[in-house]
Amino acid sequence: MGSNPINVLRDYLGLRREHWLGREQIESIQQRRYEAITDTARLLPYYRRRFESCGDSPSKDLEMGGFPILPKDDVRMSPNDFINPSIPRKKLFEMQTSGSTGTPLGVVCDQQTFEHRHAIGLLLAQDFRRSPRDLLVEISRKSDSFAPFAVPGLFRKKHLSIFLEESELFRSVRRLGPDSLGWYPSMAQTLARINDSLGRPVRLKSVFCGGEALSARVRASIEESFSCRVYEQYASVEFSALAWECPEEHRLHVNDSSFLIEVIDGRGKPIKSGTGDLAVTCFFNRAMPLVRYMIGDRAKWGRECSCGRGTRVLDSISGRSDDFIVLPSGKHRSAFAFNLLYYGEKIEGIWKYQIVQEREDLLVFRYVPEGRGLSGAGCADLRKRISKACLYENVKLEFEAADSIPREKSGKLRKIISKPAQRLRTGDAAE
Ligand SMILES: [Zn+2]
**All domains in the chain, ordered by first residue:** 1-321 (3.40.50.12780), 325-430 (3.30.300)
Write the pLDDT tens digit of every residue in 4-63. 889 999 999 999 999 999 999 999 999 999 999 999 999 999 988 887 766 555 554 444
Give the list of residues 6+ apart from residue 327 with CB closer than 8 angstroms, or none.
Answer: 333, 360, 390, 391, 393, 395
What confidence score (pLDDT) does residue 102 get? 52
- What is the Å distance from ligand 1's center to 424 Cα? 33
pLDDT at 152: 77
Distance CA 121, CA 298 (A): 23
Q: How far is the CA of 320 from the centre of ligand 1 (A)?
A: 22
Query: What's the 305 CA to ligand 1 centre distance in angstroms?
Result: 5
Q: How many angstroms separate the first and last alpha carbons of the chain?
A: 50
Q: How close is the Cα of 430 to the center of ligand 1, in Å? A: 32
User: How do residues 219-272 score in pLDDT, each as one tens digit?
Assistant: 888 999 999 999 999 988 789 999 999 988 888 999 999 999 999 987 888 999
What's phi and psi for 48, nearest 5 deg?
A: -60, -45
Provide mean pLDDT across the span 307-329.
82
- Answer whether residue 429 shows pLDDT above 50: no
Q: What pLDDT, on the 0 to 100 scale, is given for residue 247?
A: 86
How far is ligand 1, taken at its centre, from the CA of residue 313, in Å?
8
Measured in angstroms, how far is the CA atom of residue 262 from the centroid of ligand 1?
Answer: 19
pLDDT above 80 (res 354): yes
pTM above 0.85, yes or no: no
Please state, rounded to an integer, the average pLDDT across all residues of the chain: 84
User: What is the pLDDT confidence band of residue 74, given thresholds at 50, 70 and 90?
Assistant: confident
Instruction: Please report, as a single letter, which amino acid is at residue 284.
Output: F
Report how far ligand 1's centroid is from the alpha carbon of 307 (Å): 4
Q: Is residue 371 scored above 50 in pLDDT?
A: yes
